[in-house]
A and B are shown apart, each in its own frame.
Chain A
């Protein structure tokens, strides 16, 4: 969360008093985390848009300190700042008199990129959101559906390769199906681009779905900041509980993909370094398995042995045929486990605690059963 200790965007006791005397933000302390989707959420009028607009100086803060990469925002030229900060708004704001190409190319053109580079970038971005460049480049915004228009809105914000992207309720005017699709696309795109995204919404489902960090606001102050899991499992106060809603709190397991911890098979057989090969082979055959985790005397995980090697070698002790295989931490998200399975294709996945204590294994069969249960209960809602 603190890559090299650098915080990209930092607010210290930042307040905003509008010209009419209304105080929209009250001494906010906030750090937007680099490379993550930071979601600002809260009831209408709580100051989400104001917070966002201070970051590209569409609104100026009236006291406190706002820094970007350690530099005071007041010392950054607003035009230059905006050109390197993507901006997407609810009403999309595509330029109706320009083609899709011209829309996406707007900021690169302002930055005087050369033509080939702009061309390549536009094609690349259109392909990223699955719109055929040859088919769509020369169309006008009015010829596109709402969902397609907002896709263009999003890639237009990405065109000049900004480090930060501001999105103010970008999907809230879309129909539920397009909305769902765009949320999924945003998650997918973010995996590729890893930008710092600041995303405003008033929709808790949306926040839970896309956020790495949720910042819940009320009346110009931050009530709670944390991962969706943290908010759901540990709401700071009554307001947070209310805003999240009883349904979501009750069904939080359905909202969240569970962590590994819930699928650990703790009675899976194990061996120690001193176990003889003969015993190990016997254990495997008895349980009809071809791998065993190896532990040391104080139940720490060491590695695995395979039936294949155990039968092949004329060795005596387990110690001699241990294979290295990194274990999984207990709080790993299931999603990353899937990637790991895909990459390594291991037969068993040993799970350890933070204190490196062996907890059990995750075998694909239990995982599969558990996942089908979760999915089954989810679609049953």
Chain B
């Protein structure tokens, strides 16, 4: 009983600062995810139309290598370019998002039955209309699953943003380690997990709602 009342007291004391950490955490993750979605998905779509195999393979290799760099090292590598704080944290998280988003979007579009695309072309859809009206909706489940996995990873990796002074729930954990305060460590961890779960559920809902509008769409 003691532990629980203690913990509730801790929350009452620190409510303001915990909320600030949460907001920081969400902001960093959110900016990284949005940037990745806005930049990587169009890139992946562009790559499906790319004739030059060499350039395509180079992009895939780079995004693969990015994925293998340890998180701490990645953050450290950012410092010389972007200094410390918010920017290097977002940049590092963004780079981690490249591979899963690229791969899912690319393979989602490539998996569409070519006769459907050829039909659209022969009927007079412009390249842009083909992407928007045919390919994106058909690849949607793949693209969405890329966004979901990436988001969950980014939220957990955002814990390390604290290392480069960007704040977030990682700060709470680092401080907890410094003060040997289990309550702080626990709070930092559990909140990040909850945020990740919450986001996953929300994105899942969004996906379902959109899919309902075109239930004939391809399923994974």
Name A's B-contacting residues (CB within 8 A): 56, 58, 79-85, 87, 89, 91-99, 106-107, 110, 140-142, 156-157, 166
Contacts and interface: CB of A to CB of B under 8 A. Distances in A.
Contacts of A82: 121-124
A93 B124 contact: no
Closest 9 CB pairs of A and B: A93-B119, A140-B216, A83-B124, A82-B124, A87-B122, A91-B115, A97-B217, A97-B214, A93-B115
A89 B125 contact: no
B118 to A, nearest CB: 6
Contacts of B124: 79-85, 107, 110
Contacts of A84: 124
B76 interface: no
Contacts of A107: 123-124
B218 A106 contact: no
Nearest to B117: A93
Contacts of A157: 123
- Which secondary structure dominates chain A's binding surface? mixed
B220 to A, nearest CB: 14
Given A87-B119, A98-B216, A140-B215, 13 more contacts: A80-B124, A82-B122, A82-B124, A83-B124, A85-B124, A91-B115, A93-B113, A94-B119, A95-B116, A106-B123, A107-B124, A156-B123, A157-B123
B126 interface: yes
Contacts of A141: 216
16 contacts: A56-B122, A58-B121, A79-B125, A83-B124, A92-B119, A93-B120, A94-B119, A95-B120, A96-B138, A96-B216, A96-B217, A98-B214, A98-B216, A99-B216, A106-B125, A110-B129
Contacts of A166: 122
B119 A96 contact: no
Interface string B118-148: 1111111110010000100110000000000
Contact of B116 (A81, A87, A93, A156): A93
Nearest to B112: A96
Nearest to B213: A97
A79 B119 contact: no
Interface residues of B, number: 21
Interface in B85-131: 113, 115-116, 118-126, 129
Q: Which of B113, B115, B124 has the most CB of A within 10 A?
A: B124
A99 B121 CA distance: 19
A129 B150 CA distance: 48
Contacts, number: 70
Given A79-B124, A106-B123, A140-B216, A97 B137 contact: yes
Nearest to B125: A110
A11 to B, nearest CB: 19
Contacts of B137: 97
A84 B137 CA distance: 25
A142 B216 contact: yes
B79 to A, nearest CB: 46
A106 B129 CA distance: 11
A85 B123 CA distance: 7
A202 to B, nearest CB: 18
Which of A82, A91, A92, A93 is packed against the most chain B CB atoms within 10 Å? A93
A96 B116 contact: yes
Contact of A96 (B120, B126, B129, B218): B218
B52 to A, nearest CB: 15
A93 B118 contact: yes
A137 B126 CA distance: 25
Nearest to A57: B122
Which of the listed residues B116, B119, B126, B217 has the most CB atoms from chain A within 10 Å of its own CB? B119
A174 to B, nearest CB: 15
B91 to A, nearest CB: 36
Nearest to B140: A97
Contacts of B125: 79, 106, 110
A81 B125 CA distance: 11
Contacts of B218: 96-97
A58 B122 contact: yes
A82 B215 CA distance: 28
Contacts of B122: 56, 58, 82, 87, 89, 166
B119 A89 contact: yes
Contacts of B118: 58, 89, 93
